Structure 1
């Protein structure tokens, strides 16, 4: 369990570093951040999700390999999103006026693939360790936050969709 959670935490920290780097670059190019008020709630949600799994799961719990395999597959989706957006990928809502919207990679199929992958991760990782209640509670909390965030993000991008 600790190995899996350690790898997930390391991945999240790397993503925060990458997102911060991209955010600083975009802001220097004239981009603006929208909806920053809800961003700390996502940090709390993800940190508490990992903490709940670590605290409530017996350290001797063997992972369910089926759920773990699904979680690993989701990482390919995450990498697809990050590589498709490249320098535009952030964990915040950052919009660069005049920049075209991405319509390649997973964005050919769905409007918000990153939120789909992250939502599935929040559901699946607790199930790797038999933590159904963590999967349900954090999935509901995440769904509420993501719904709010999508409204804000779609509003910020509306003029570029027309």
Structure 2
């Protein structure tokens, strides 16, 4: 399980890197009259993503979940693909990418990269990661609980983001 703990530590470090990028991008967008939306759900998102990592570590240890190669390796591949998609989104949006919903009035929607195919590709990465990361080491209770919680959160988040973009972005 030590390697799984290292994987979770790596994902946590990646989250810190995201927050550094998000903070820089927030300063950039706010300096261009960016408007933040959905502040109320943001702390819930932070708690959800933080608790996910903790539960990924705890469930296999406390419930004695073994690593099952037939499940673990494909799930690890999905986690890697989710990370690649997430960073494709980050680099495509450039300074407009953020963990918060901050929209610069009058800015055009980005239609390049994964946004050519999906309106919210970053959320596809999040959904895949939340389902797959716990299953890398058989934490099926964590996968089920956090997938359900994330579905509820994304319902609010995507509605908020779509409304903010509709109000601020020219057609």
- Output the CA distance in 2 between the equivalents of 1:136 and 1:118: 14
- Aligned pair 1:23/2:26, yes or no? yes
- Output the CA distance in 2 between the equivalents of 1:87 and 1:22: 5
Return the match for 1:80 from 83, 88, 102.
88
How far off its partner does 1:22 sit? 0.5
- Output the CA distance in 1 between the equivalents of 2:162 and 2:89: 18
Return the match for 1:54 from 54, 57, 61.
57
The DSSP-based 3-state class of the residue aligned with 2:56 is: helix
Q: Gapped runs of 5+ residues in structure 1? A: none
How far off its partner does 1:71 sit? 1.1
* TM value normalised by structure 1: 0.94
The number of residues matched between the two structures is 162
Q: Indicate conservation of the 8 Å contact 2:59/2:65, yes or no.
A: no
- Output the CA distance in 2 between the equivalents of 1:112 and 1:157: 12
- Output the CA distance in 2 between the equivalents of 1:107 and 1:69: 22
Match of 1:91 in 2: 99
* TM value normalised by structure 2: 0.90
Match of 1:100 in 2: 108
Match of 1:66 in 2: 74
Q: List, as ranges, runs of 4+ consecutive aligned residues in structure 1 with deviation greater than 6 Å.
A: none
How far off its partner does 1:61 sit? 4.6
CA root-mean-square deviation: 1.5
- Output the CA distance in 1 between the equivalents of 2:83 and 2:65: 25
- Output the CA distance in 2 between the equivalents of 1:30 and 1:146: 26
Q: Indicate conservation of the 8 Å contact 2:76/2:133, yes or no.
A: yes
Match of 2:15 in 1: 12
- Output the CA distance in 1 between the equivalents of 2:18 and 2:114: 19
Deviates more, 1:37-46 or 1:22-31: 22-31
Q: Gapped runs of 5+ residues in structure 2? A: none
- Output the CA distance in 2 between the equivalents of 1:8 and 1:61: 20
